[in-house]
Structure formats: C-alpha cells, structure tokens
A and B are shown apart, each in its own frame.
Chain A
Amino acid sequence: MKVFMLGWEFPPFISGGLGTACHGLTKALSNLGVHITFVLPKSVDTGNATHVHMLTPQSCRPLPAAGTSSVEISEELKNIQFHTVSSPLQPYMTPQQYQKKLEEIIKQKKLLSGQSQQMLDQWLEREFETVTAAAGQYSGDMYAESHRYAAAAVHLALLQDFDVIHAHDWMTYPAGIAVAAVTGKPLVVHVHSTEFDRSGEHVNQMIYDIERRGVHAANKVIAVSYLTRNILLTRYGILGDKVEVIYNGVEAEDSSRISAHQVGIRSDEKIVLFLGRITMQKGPEYFLMAARKVLEEIENVKFVMAGSGDMMHRIIEMAAQMGIGHKVLFTGFLRGEDVNKVYQMADLYVMPSVSEPFGIAPLEALNHDVPVLISKQSGVAEVLTHVLKVDFWDIQEMANKIIAVLKYPPLQMTLREHGNFEVRKLKWSGAAQKCLRLYQDMAAQVAT
C-alpha cells in the first residue's frame, strides 16, 4: 500500500496536536509496511530552543545532505519519504501568479497523460474563482498558502506512484482534491478539527467552504471522534456512512519523574497544569476562573499555563486582575524535553476545552502518570473512563475536582494507576490498522 499524504505540520515544527497525530499515525502505518510520501509546506523556524533532537523536514528530504539524523529516520519512519514544498513558489502569491503556476503544471500533466483533462479543467476553474474571491476578502496568508501548497503537491504527485491520497485538515484539502483530480486516485480527508471547533459560531466562511468542499469531494472521511462526526453530519451536510471514526492514539513513553524543586518550584507546592494553545477553543479563561476558586480553599498550589496563542496576553492580564498573578505561571510554547519536564512536575492536568475534536494531550499526560481532568466537550472523553470529567463552563465543579485531587492522595493514585493502564491500550497501531483497512477498501473500490 502506497499513500500520498498531505500534512501541514510535523514534529518538531508543530503548533498543536495535528503534528503529533501525523507523527504517531505515520510511524504506526510505517510499521504495518505502508509506504508514505509525506508532503509538508516549507517549515518556518520558530527559533524556540528544544532539548530533544528530532528529525526536521529538511533532514528528511529524499536525498538528505549527510544529515545527522538520517539513521534515526531510517529506523523509526523507515517507509516514509518526506517532501517539503519546493521553493520556487512564493509564500504570498497573487491569484494571477497562482493561475500561471497551475497552468504550467497542467501543461506538464498533459505531457504525461491525456486522461481526466476535463475534470482538471473544471477543478482549475473552480479553484481560480475561489482564489480570486479570496484575494478581496481574506487578508491572512494561510489561505493563499494552502493553494500554493496544492499546486506544489500536484507537481510532486505527478512524479510519484501511490494508491491513496490522505489529507490532514483543511489546509491540505485543496491539495488533496487537486491531486485526486489529476491522478484519479481515491481521497480520504482526515478531520482533526473543524472551523466550528476553532472559531465557535463565528466561523470564517472561506475556511468553512474549503472544509465543506474537502469532505464532500473525498471518497471517505476520517473523524477523530463521534463529537467531530456529529459536527460533520449536522454542519457540513455529509452522509453518515461516509464518515468513519478513528481515535487518535498515544506512544508509550518511559519517563522517570523528576522532583519539582529542580525547576524552581517549592516541593510542598502542588502543580496544576494547562498545556495547549491559549486560544478560545481551549478554554483558558475557565482554567483561570477555576484556579481562583481553588485558591479560596487551598494555598500551596501553582497553576502552570504552558502554551502560546492569540489569547495569551488577555489571559495574563486576566490573571493579574483576578489577583492570582503570583499563582499562575506562563511558560510559553513548550516542546520536546520541556514538555516531559512539565508533565513530570504536574499533580493534575486540566483540559477545559470549549470544543475539542479529540485532544491528544490528556493521553500524553496519562502516559506521564499525571491524572487528568477533561471537559465533557472533548472527543477524548469518549474513549477515556479513568479520568475526571466536567462541563467546561462549570467552574465550581472544576474547582471542586481540582481540590479533591490535590487534597486526597488516594484519588490521585487511583486515577494515575487506572488511567495509565487504560491509555496503554490506546495505541497508534490500532488507529493505523483501521486506516489501512480504509485504504484497502478504497483502493479495491477504485479497482472494480
């Protein structure tokens, strides 16, 4: 089985769970003998230092220039070939330039095969209209990026041999549709989140349109939870039999716990951890409000907020206004070894997400022996039983449960033991097997 996979991020260049999920899934698929060509946009160096040595998209190019990490790659992701989107493309292309580029690709395509010309023309027309419309309304570059990426992906796809196209989240859907149109291969789109999760009711119409077109154009859709599946059914008008739920997994990790004083927190202080993007979707303000309630009852506790995001400044100000600024620590965006460290210090991980399609972080917390409190509005709540659950808006109950974990060691112990046992059953290998079955079904349908 050969898969042409379209992603937006991959460790260590990640901003959230998508990269982690792509890494885990591709690794497990690779172990099943699936060959994957993974297409990534050219990475942007964030400048954040990390203590872990990880493979980078650059070092994974088909012909690595004597990269130090090439040995690791061949062992861990042996069946995966990485491509970054080729550089001639400019990040901020105008629709006209984009059109020109597409035409070039089409010409190239014509040389290779005369099939599906009509489909391609139609697709091209549609895409062009969208891009032109977009230029007037949308000021950000994510949208343009996604189309630049699509063009490059088509370019790459023509040089590759594969059975299935697998596209992760909206940024890669235009590319997925384009590659499917050009090659006639079946397309599966993997919905890790929807615009409704990210933006609540104030959806970006353009992104919604891309998502809608993506899930409708796909032969099959993978949703990361039934929560997400329901959104796809009710908000995107897609038929239920087209959507399969495949839960994310987590990779087993052995980690020794380190004591908190090593990182400047007094050992008699308990630590409650928020780890995720500080954005509306993740409910950081509910975490703070619960923190204030907790502090009414107990003194020796610190609240660590690890992550960055568009609400970060507002949240820092909010903590100060509440008069709990000295009890809330902001670490900024963490990755690699820093993530391990912060988990090892934590007494409780809280994910108060307003809307969370899945939520891999709680699995990672459990993997690090940290008990978990998650919002009932998260997909991961469907698979975890040995965790505490609360409605994200129920500050009182959230605080009640946080206090209980800090106050009663047997609760922490039971949650940790059972939770860790439970999470070990949620492996990426299970998700990969389901994916592979889906690929096989789709490939078989195309063949007949």
Chain B
Amino acid sequence: MTAMMTILGPLVMGAAFGFLLQRGKVTSCNVIENQFRLRDFTVLKVMGTAIVVGGIGVLLLVDTGNTKYYVKDANMLAVALGAALFGVGMVVYGYCPGTALGAIATGSVHALVGALGMVAGAILYALSFDWLKAHVLNVWTLGKVRLPDVTNIPDIAWFAALAIGAGLFFWWVESSEARQKRG
C-alpha cells in the first residue's frame, strides 16, 4: 500500500464512520441515554443492522479468501468485568468512545470533558496492567474463538437466526413506535 493510502485511507474510513454516526443520531447523548431507558431504539437499530449486513458480507469475503477473521481473545473474566464497567460508564458519560469523538466535533462540550476522563482511564489501565495480567487477564481464557466453533452451529444458521430475530424485533419496535405516535 502506498504511503498516501496508509494515511488517507484510514482518514476517509474514519470520516465515513463519523459521518454515519452523526447521521444515525448516535452522536447524541440523549439518543444513547434513551436507548438504555428503552425509550428510543436507534442505537440497537444501527448496531443490529450493522452486525447483520456487515457479518454476512464479511462471511462471504472470508469464504472467498478475500479477508480473514480478526477475532479478539475470549478472556472471559476480563471481558465480562470490562463490559460491566463499560455499561456503567456509557450510561454515566452518555456516549461510547467512538460516538463521543463524533459528538465533540458536533459541539458537545461535556463529551470533550469525558474524553479527558477517557485519557485518565487509559492511563489508569496502563498503570494497573501488571496486576491485571497476573490476576484477571488469564482467568478462563478460550482464545480467539467464534460462536460457530464452540456450538458447532454453522455460520449461515447464526446469521439466519440473527437476521430473522433482528427483523422481528425491529418490526415490533416500529409498530409500537407507530402506535405511540398515533397516541
């Protein structure tokens, strides 16, 4: 890849991502908070569609030898603890790290304050890394596994189930939102 591509490529990809996040309204703290209050399902709609559309495409790309999987280690204890903290932080902050960066650029000053908090969080993590490595990171590790590996259910069945599940769920959300609007 040329030098130009190694900078311009990710810049354009990031900009496209930021653009989509803003258009999808998920750079709004209100939208994110209201997802967790079950009053606005925008976050799940965006994420669910991204996972189904992205997943089927990436599955085809892997099957045709055009890419490979980049699966993160299943360090179950660390992921569970981290995700629990993440859920708490996301509700208190009102953003996740990616949407926060987008929100800063749309004028959210409190997102910028939280981004400084995120820097502090990263520093705290680095400082506690040795202890975590000794006591948390290597507890209940499964390696880079995928659901089809551990369940013996093929990829295509997972995506069929996900697509149908998401479709039904969103259909239900849309119809109850329409009912609410009619009041």
Q: Do A and B bind each other?
A: no
Chain B residues at the A interface, C-beta cutoff of 8 Å = none
Chain A residues at the B interface, C-beta cutoff of 8 Å = none
